[in-house]
Amino acid sequence: MAEGEVGGPIKTDFGFHVVRVDQVLERGPLPLEQVRGELISELRDRQAEDAFRELERSLSDALFDNEDMQAIATAAGLEVQSASGFTRTGGEPFGANQAAIDAVFDERVYVDGMVSEVIELDANRSALFKVTQHSEASRQSLDVVREQIAGIIRDQEAGNIVLAQSGQLMQALDAGEDFGPAAESAGATVSAPSLISRQDPEMDQAVLFQVFTAKKPDMQGPVNGQVAGADGGYTVFSLDAVIPGRPESIPLADRDAGKLQLAQQAGGADYTAFVQALYDEAEIVVNQDLLAASDLLQ
Q: How confident is the model at residue 293 (pLDDT cuts 50, 70, 90)?
A: low
Partner residues linked to 7 by β-bridges: 19
Report if residue 32 sits inside a domain: no
Nearest to 52 by CA among 78, 71, 75: 78
Q: Are residues 67 and 91 in the same domain?
A: yes
Give the chain's mean pLDDT: 84
Query: pLDDT at residue 21 above 90?
Result: yes
More confident residue, 142 or 53: 142
pLDDT per residue as tens digits for the range 62-109: 776 677 888 888 877 888 888 888 988 888 888 888 999 999 999 888
- Paired with 218 in beta bridges are 221
User: Are residues 72 and 122 both part of a single domain?
Assistant: yes
Same-domain status, 233 and 252: no
Q: Are residues 206 and 120 in the same domain?
A: no
C-beta neighbour count of 170 within 10 angstroms = 17
Strands (E) located in the chain: 6-12, 15-20, 119-122, 125-127, 223-228, 234-239
- pTM equals 0.40
Does 156 lie in the same domain as 228? yes
Q: Would you state the torsion angle of the CA atoms of residues 97, 204, 45, 60, taken in this order, to the nearest 10 degrees? A: 0
User: Using a CB cutoff of 8 Å and minimum separation of 24, what contacts does 202-211 make?
Assistant: 204/229, 204/230, 204/231, 204/235, 205/230, 206/230, 207/235, 207/237, 210/237, 211/237, 211/239
- What confidence tens digit (pLDDT) does each residue in 128-156 have? 899 988 888 778 888 888 998 998 898 88
**Is 98 inside any structural domain?**
yes
pLDDT (0 to 100) of residue 143: 87
In a domain, 283, yes or no: no
pLDDT exceeds 90 at position 19: yes
Q: Number of helices and strands (H, E) in the chain?
A: 9, 6
Looking at the structure, tell me whether residues 98 and 167 fall in a common domain: no
Residue 11: helix, strand or coil by DSSP? Answer: strand
- Return the closest-CA partner of residue 228 out of 155, 179, 171: 155
In a domain, 70, yes or no: yes
Instruction: Say what the pLDDT of residue 65 is.
Output: 61
Distance of CA 98 to the CA centre of its chain: 12
Predicted confidence (pLDDT) per residue in 233-284, tens digit: 788 888 988 888 777 777 888 888 888 888 888 888 888 888 888 888 888 7
Domain count, the chain: 3
Examine residue 43 and state whether it is found in any structural domain, yes or no: no
The answer to whether residue 296 is domain-embedded is no
Say what the pLDDT of residue 272 is: 86
Determine what percent of the chain is predicted with pLDDT higher than 70: 96
Q: Do 98 and 62 have their domain in common?
A: yes
Percent of the chain with pLDDT over 90: 7
How many whole angstroms separate alpha carbon 251 and alpha carbon 136? 49
Are residues 156 and 114 both part of a single domain?
no
Own/partner long-range contacts of 68-74 (Cβ < 8 Å, ≥24 apart): 69/115, 69/130, 72/115, 72/128
Per-residue pLDDT at 59: 75
pLDDT of residue 56 exceeding 80, the answer is no
Give the structural domain span for 155: 142-239
Alpha-carbon distance of 141 to 146, in angstroms, equals 8
- Name the domain boundary from 220, 239, 258: 239
Do 270 and 209 belong to one domain? no
Q: Are residues 218 and 166 in the same domain?
A: yes
Q: How far is Cα 206 from Cα 215, in angstroms, rounded to an integer?
A: 16
Provide the sign of the torsion angle of the four alpha carbons 167, 168, 171, 173, taken in this order.
negative
Tell me if 109 is assigned to some domain: yes
Instruction: Please report whether residue 106 resides in a domain.
Output: yes
Residues 6 or more apart in contact with residue 126 via CB below 8 angstroms: 52, 56, 59, 118, 119, 120
Q: What is the pLDDT of residue 36?
A: 81
- For residues 113 and 147, state if they share a domain: no
What does the pLDDT look like over 197-213, one tens digit per residue?
Answer: 888 888 888 888 889 99
Supply the DSSP symbol for 66: -
Q: What is the pLDDT of residue 18?
A: 93
Statement to judge: residues 75 and 164 lie in one domain: no
